[in-house]
């Protein structure tokens, strides 16, 4: 049986992923997870657009109400993280716990199917020698989304297909136009779905977190100004502090207990080490001795060389060659050997 369940957000990428597999002869079933109330991708508009594409392709369309799963795994996770002074990354968590795992479960249990596909830009290959499914960057480096997929398990990778990983976004748009897909002209999503749905991260957080004003202090505890709630700030942030100072100041710590934002000059904002937890090794088995590789600490940051020292309990220590800025607890540190994503985890300490 060559049935495949394609996750449809109502955007152009997943529409083309579904159309491509359909034209390759797969029996495609469209599946949209209803994640949030409101308008936009993943919400009512997304469901309608996904349904229109399925109608066009002549394939079935299923909608699964996943609002509770999204609330528990993403909204509650973000709110408790920001309240605790970290800056959580929702997308990798969403991919594993809200999208891929539930989609595969639904495919297996409801549709007797063992294969799922999405419109992500990334590649998967099976390595015979290590007997592992490896995750690779997309051919289109500018669209590469492998960073957000570092937390997928071997079981999920074995079942997943990324039909767009070998093509550029321009090619995807061209295919959508050639096929006359209803979603061909839809603009790319510019930001996190939550931000698109709420206007800004601040607006989203203010809906769930009570604003609690407090002090902005320097590393000696001297009060420099007032903040509007620690959840409005991120480690490494320089702009929007509202403090007049002789030299640029950066957020170096968020202290939820004292309800304080701590700032320091550029020298104090750099980190030469950090600890990463909840490691998921993807393309290689968990190392038992230090390895030298490259790490990306933000989606859009450049990879930098690093020594990775294994610790107990799925944690590693990173030792950078040069101090790094914007090492932010809650964000993902993802390791790469050129195009191969080795693994990744969540930054838990930045000093
Ligand atoms: N609500 C959803 N239900 C099912 N699958 C989804 C949903 N949202 C996203 N996906 C899948 O995850 C992929 C990546 O989602 P992302 O939110 O990053 O959108 P994108 O890169 O803008 O893609 P698209 O153009 O398809 O929206 C999508 O291409 C789709 O296959």
Q: Which has the closest alpha carbon to 252: 202, 217, 224?
A: 217
ipTM of the complex, rounded to two decimals: 0.98
Q: Annotated catalytic sites, by residue?
A: 94, 193
Q: CATH 2.30.30.280 region(s) of the chain? A: 212-264
Measured from the Cα of 46, ligand 1's closest atom is 1
The CATH code that applies to domain 269-349 is: 2.40.30.10
- The CATH class of 212-264 is mainly beta
Ligand 1: list residues with CB < 6 Å: 7-9, 11-14, 17, 31-33, 35, 41-42, 99, 118-120, 189, 193
Measured from the Cα of 164, ligand 1's closest atom is 29
pLDDT grade, residue 317 (50/70/90)?
very high
Q: CATH 2.40.30.10 region(s) of the chain? A: 269-349
Whether the per-residue pLDDT at 44 is higher than 90: the answer is no
Give 35 Cα–ligand 1 centroid separation in angstroms. 11
| Mutate-to-test residue for ligand 1 from 118, 140, 165, highest number of ligand atoms within 8 A of CB | 118
13 appears as a binding residue in the annotation:
yes
The mean predicted confidence, pLDDT, of the chain is: 93
Residue 55 has which token pair?
Answer: 């109608």
225 appears as a binding residue in the annotation:
no
**Whole-prediction pTM value?**
0.94
Q: CATH 3.40.50.620 region(s) of the chain? A: 3-198
Domain 3-198 classified CATH 3.40.50.620?
yes
pLDDT for res 137: 98
pLDDT grade, residue 351 (50/70/90)?
low
């Amino acid at each position: 049986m060559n049935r495949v369940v394609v996750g449809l957000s109502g955007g152009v990428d997943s529409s083309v992923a579904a159309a491509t597999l359909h034209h390759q002869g797969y029996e495609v079933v469209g599946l949209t997870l209803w994640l949030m109330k409101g308008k936009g991708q993943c919400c009512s508009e997304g469901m309608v657009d996904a349904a229109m594409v399925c109608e066009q392709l002549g394939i079935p369309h299923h909608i699964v109400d996943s609002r509770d799963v999204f609330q528990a795994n993403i909204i509650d996770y973000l709110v408790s993280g920001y309240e605790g002074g970290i800056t959580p990354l929702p997308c990798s968590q969403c991919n594993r716990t809200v999208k891929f795992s539930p989609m595969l479960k639904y495919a297996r249990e409801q549709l007797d199917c063992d294969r799922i596909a999405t419109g992500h830009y990334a590649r998967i290959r099976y390595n015979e020698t290590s007997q592992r499914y490896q995750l690779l960057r997309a051919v289109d480096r500018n669209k590469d989304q492998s960073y957000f997929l570092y937390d997928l398990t071997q079981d999920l990778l074995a079942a997943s297909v990324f039909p767009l990983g070998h093509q550029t976004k321009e090619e995807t748009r061209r295919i959508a136009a050639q096929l006359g897909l209803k979603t061909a002209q839809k603009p790319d999503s510019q930001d996190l779905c939550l931000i698109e749905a709420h206007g800004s991260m601040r607006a989203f957080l203010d809906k769930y977190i009570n604003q609690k004003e407090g002090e902005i202090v320097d590393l000696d505890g001297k009060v420099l100004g007032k903040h509007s709630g620690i959840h409005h700030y991120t480690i490494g942030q320089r702009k929007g502090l509202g403090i007049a100072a002789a030299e640029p100041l950066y957020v170096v710590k968020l202290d939820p207990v004292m309800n304080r934002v701590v700032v320091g000059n550029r020298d104090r904002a750099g980190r030469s080490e950090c600890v990463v937890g909840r490691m998921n090794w993807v393309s290689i088995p968990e190392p038992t001795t230090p390895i030298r590789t490259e790490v990306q600490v933000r989606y859009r940051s450049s990879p930098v060389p690093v020594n990775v020292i294994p610790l107990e309990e799925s944690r590693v220590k990173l030792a950078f060659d040069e101090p790094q800025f914007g090492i932010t607890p809650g964000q993902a540190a993802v390791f790469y050997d050129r195009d191969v994503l080795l693994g990744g985890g969540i930054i838990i300490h930045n000093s």
